[in-house]
């Protein structure tokens, strides 16, 4: 085979997968497994597409280089804004501090979680994989002294969730899809606002056949636009998943994206038994009328997720 033919094949082998990735990601169509878990790695695919384009240019291959350029121009605008800060609406109401954590079947370090609560002083604490044992440990650690109001749905396994708050809560309807429960609660803020808070945790789409449960769990979340709402927790989805993009378009903003921290991975946390490149699947989604003043990705021992914290301002 001639050297020119080798260069052409190498270029196409590098470029074609990237071009196909870009086409599916931007198509408005989301195939089932394995695409649903794989699309979470779109930021890495974008970097790979740039590298493939540079390779094609270095090998002086015009056609694959052009295809790579088109793919880059398609993917970069979809992912780059996550590293850039956004403006905020003119929200002049009181603040609302939100902390969310996945407890890994209730195993997360309770003492360290309480230290986060003491340091960050959240008004709302949303917990996922919330078990009866975890609830007992939190009660013993004094969580109700700091956050006296709670709507709790503890379950054995991964399906439990809870909302703790500094202010009065009224229980909302539990969102139940498969074995996964997503607690909802209406918070009465002392500033007068009434805010719905959801502890988010749909099924994980990690194997074939789980997409319907995962998609239904995301689609069951309340849309924005009427009452003020905050959705916080383990979405098992990144901003590259179609149901997540639909949710944002329905009246929310992602706090990490607003603050230019949308590439900070939340799973798997260092020390997890799961070996995977990091992805951003834990979020705080705020009503689009709220301002986002701060966002942090934190650490918590004995769980595979990193907690997330957002400081919001109500309209």
pLDDT, one tens digit per residue, over 294-308 is 999 999 999 999 999
Q: Which residues make Cβ contacts (< 8 Å) with residue 165, sequence separation at least 6?
A: 123, 124, 125, 147, 149, 150, 185, 187, 197
Q: What is the pLDDT of residue 5?
A: 72
pLDDT tens figures, 189-207: 999 999 999 999 999 987 7
User: Which residues in the chain land under pLDDT 70?
Assistant: 1-4, 209, 271-275
- Predicted TM-score of the model (pTM): 0.95
Q: How far is the C-alpha of 117 from the C-alpha of 124, rounded, in Å?
A: 10
Find, among 148, 167, 289, the residue nearest to 228 by Cα. Answer: 289
Find, among 201, 250, 190, 242, the residue nearest to 226 by Cα. Answer: 250
pLDDT tens figures, 159-176: 999 999 999 999 999 999
Q: What is the pLDDT of residue 211?
A: 82
Q: Which residues make Cβ contacts (< 8 Å) with residue 102, sequence separation at least 6?
A: 108, 127, 128, 129, 201, 233, 234, 282, 303, 304, 305, 307
């Amino acid at each position: 085979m001639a050297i020119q033919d080798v260069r052409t094949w190498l270029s196409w082998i590098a470029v074609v997968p990237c071009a196909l990735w870009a086409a599916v990601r931007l198509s408005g169509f989301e195939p089932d497994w394995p695409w649903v878990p794989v699309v979470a790695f779109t930021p890495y695919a974008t970097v790979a597409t740039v590298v493939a384009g540079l390779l094609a240019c270095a090998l002086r291959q015009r056609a694959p280089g052009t295809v790579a350029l088109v793919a880059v121009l398609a993917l970069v605008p979809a992912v780059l804004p996550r590293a850039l800060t956004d403006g905020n609406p003119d929200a002049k109401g009181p603040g609302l501090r939100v902390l969310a954590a996945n407890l890994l079947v209730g195993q997360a370090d309770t003492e360290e979680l309480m230290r986060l609560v003491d340091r960050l002083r959240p008004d709302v604490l949303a917990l996922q994989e919330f078990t009866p044992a975890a609830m007992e440990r939190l009660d013993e650690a004094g969580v109700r002294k700091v956050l006296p109001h709670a709507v709790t749905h503890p379950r054995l396994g991964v399906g439990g969730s809870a909302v703790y708050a500094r202010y009065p809560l009224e229980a909302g309807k539990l969102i139940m899809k498969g074995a996964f429960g997503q607690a909802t609660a209406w918070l009465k803020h002392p500033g007068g606002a009434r805010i719905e808070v959801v502890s988010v945790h749909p099924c994980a789409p990690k194997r074939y056949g789980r997409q319907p449960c995962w998609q239904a769990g995301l689609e069951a979340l309340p849309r924005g636009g009427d009452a003020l709402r905050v959705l916080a927790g383990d979405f098992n989805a990144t901003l590259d998943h179609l149901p997540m993009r639909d949710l944002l378009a329905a009246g929310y903003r992602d706090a990490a994206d607003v603050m230019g921290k949308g590439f900070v991975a939340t799973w798997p946390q260092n020390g997890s038994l799961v070996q995977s490149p990091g992805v951003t699947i834990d979020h705080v989604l705020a009503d689009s009328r709220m301002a986002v003043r701060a966002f942090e990705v934190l650490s918590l021992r004995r769980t595979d997720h990193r907690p997330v914290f957002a400081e919001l301002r109500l309209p």
